[in-house]
Structure 1
């Protein structure tokens, strides 16, 4: 008897490696092949999320912040103390190394780097995957390429959607200027230029932090502009006249409710960004990826249909309202976020941001933010997009910030 056809995963980043682990953990015995064009797994990004139960790799956190805050354009600080649900930071290289080590121990997993996928053709009995190194026959194919692979054409685009873009630098200052116990999720003391823009500061030590210039809108900003903005922010608001850049990362996360289904065909699926794992209203994805791959793996091993979506459908309404607020009045975003922190207990906010909230949690969130409350009562409308056409009912931080 010939060996069974493998499950082929396109992409060996966070989503692809996590899916391979989930398939093994849930009992899949068939071979698994991961294909990725990257030559090596290095530190290409950062993931952050709140410490709620059941999130794979949470034990790898390099730092935990018991408090987090939002700083308004006028310098007003709104802070949460949430020791039971701290904010966690994971480095990509630590996650990759741990996942690869676990997969080596699981057996039957082949990770092929420096391999570009050029085509995927689904047939009645198998899937043919074409790469720059030849062809593979697969039982199932899972797209974990974040929307950049050959299956992208199967997913509708959202020309009016927003994008969260960021450039972050890990810096070391010449003197102690940071409080390592407090994560600044949003500091709005930065020129916005008509968009939502803020600085994200994760202090690891009094003289070391990850500082990111983040914007939400439709236009990119040159990396040089973001680097100048980070340096200026450190001077003006932290008194850091000089800083050594230890590491830099950047990225773009779609903030849209355009459909990105997990099930693409009888033998085709998608996970991670390709499967809609980035939360449309925030860009957070790490916790959702872990829940998503578990749901997909469980269905495959049990022989049941893979669900079209793996997050609570009711959250789409919350995201839709939030994105409407963001699109219609970006200048009010800072006040909206401050109200969210003031009116929401830390554990409730953490559960909501990690897709683990209850309907009661969500009701408390809506009650805490007048803009959401008023729009939740308003009939659905289709506001004009920047192009003058009616925008779709979907509207449109960075690190969790996904794969």
Structure 2
């Protein structure tokens, strides 16, 4: 049985960004690192999107970026520049290829392709059980999400951001490659929060995703019908070919995942609650969390003390309370924000970088009664 200083379970965004941060810092050059994942990361299994001011450390890997975004609500639509931000898209395979090659060059890193079945904390070491072996470590970073922890409680509502996307190539030029459709609520809501998400790569190529914030997922055919109807009603019913697909679901909850951390085991990525509860955006927040975590480790502070709850957690909780009870209100809430406030302020708010005064500007743009009711339910 091999022992390691650090064990990282999962070679997704959080696992690879953490491994890269550790191997890029001379402070950890003497530390042995084990990375376990059941997949070899040789396929494009996802895309990540985020917004950022100016140039960033992922720019050389980007598939596309957009200087403008579009929003459509009920009887309202707006296209706007988001300068100094750019909306950026990164394909999973490009991310994996870059970071796998970079990390594997370090002699203190061991890779194992296996499926982890159990993580246990003992008095001496952490024990990681996989299908084909056992490993011990001084510290474990676990990106393996245990859904049962969230499902077995009622205090914090659980919604899903679930989606199915088609990469399409159209017969006619119908897209604006300089503008990403952030949310298009013009599609039938059917009692939910439903919108189309459109990322154009050229005038004839784009990713179209039929997306919901709701409690339950749909049959595959319903997502597909939604995309077909959108193309018919909004893109001139042009002929198209599907070049690739993607499908996924991201938990949207304020459940305290950090409560399962200890001084020797820490949950990271979505499993650590690093996804923004109100939007599902995870990648850029994960990058920021990893930087903070590395500094935390260098100060030799307990892992259980890493997480700090802030005001944005409470804002997200109120929104999820509303959408869990009245799922159809998403269209009016996001519509009011984009109608009354500029896109840059909204993106800054969603990045959790606004001042209290800026928070109040966003909050005042939202429908008042649902949030007042949610606030009273939480307190009383």
In the superposition, the TM-score normalised over structure 2's length comes to 0.90
- Partner of residue 118, structure 1: 117
Deviation at 1:310, TM superposition (A): 4.2
- Partner of residue 61, structure 2: 60
- How far apart in 2 are the matches of 1:176 and 1:166? 25
- Partner of residue 189, structure 1: 186
Q: Is the 8 A contact 1:262 1:306 kept in 2?
A: no
SS at match of 1:5: strand
Aligned 1:137-148 pairs, distance under 5 A = 137-145=136-144, 147-148=145-146
- Partner of residue 352, structure 2: 355
Alpha-carbon spacing, 1:242–1:294, altered in 2? closer, same or farther (3 Å) = same
Structure 1: 5+ residue runs without aligned partners? 383-391, 394-403
SS at match of 2:330: helix
Deviation at 1:328, TM superposition (A): 4.1
Q: What whole-Å deviation, never above 9, does each CA across 1:259-307 have from its counterpart, x for those lacking one?
A: 1107612210011000001111111111111111222222223211225
Q: Is the 8 A contact 1:49 1:89 kept in 2?
A: yes
Structure 2: 5+ residue runs without aligned partners? none
Is residue 380 from structure 1 mapped to residue 376 from structure 2 by the alignment? Answer: yes
Q: Report how many residues are paired.
A: 375
- Partner of residue 80, structure 1: 80
Q: Is the 8 A contact 2:165 2:246 kept in 1?
A: yes
- How far apart in 1 are the matches of 2:61 and 2:265? 31
- How far apart in 2 are the matches of 1:90 and 1:262? 31
Alpha-carbon spacing, 1:260–1:18, altered in 2? closer, same or farther (3 Å) = same
Alpha-carbon spacing, 1:216–1:293, altered in 2? closer, same or farther (3 Å) = same
Q: What whole-Å deviation, never above 9, does each CA across 1:218-276 have from its counterpart, x for those lacking one?
A: 22111122112211211111114321111111111111111110761221001100000
Q: What whole-Å deviation, never above 9, does each CA across 1:93-124 have from its counterpart, x for those lacking one?
A: 111112112213444222222x0111222112
- How far apart in 2 are the matches of 1:209 and 1:106? 37
Alpha-carbon spacing, 1:293–1:305, altered in 2? closer, same or farther (3 Å) = same
Alpha-carbon spacing, 1:261–1:71, altered in 2? closer, same or farther (3 Å) = same
Which protein has greater RCO, CA pairs closer than 8 Å, 6+ apart? 1
- How far apart in 2 are the matches of 1:131 and 1:328? 40
Aligned 1:240-259 pairs, distance under 5 A = 240-259=237-256
- Partner of residue 102, structure 1: 102
- How far apart in 2 are the matches of 1:365 and 1:184? 21
Question: Which shows bigger deviation, 214-223 or 97-106?
Answer: 97-106
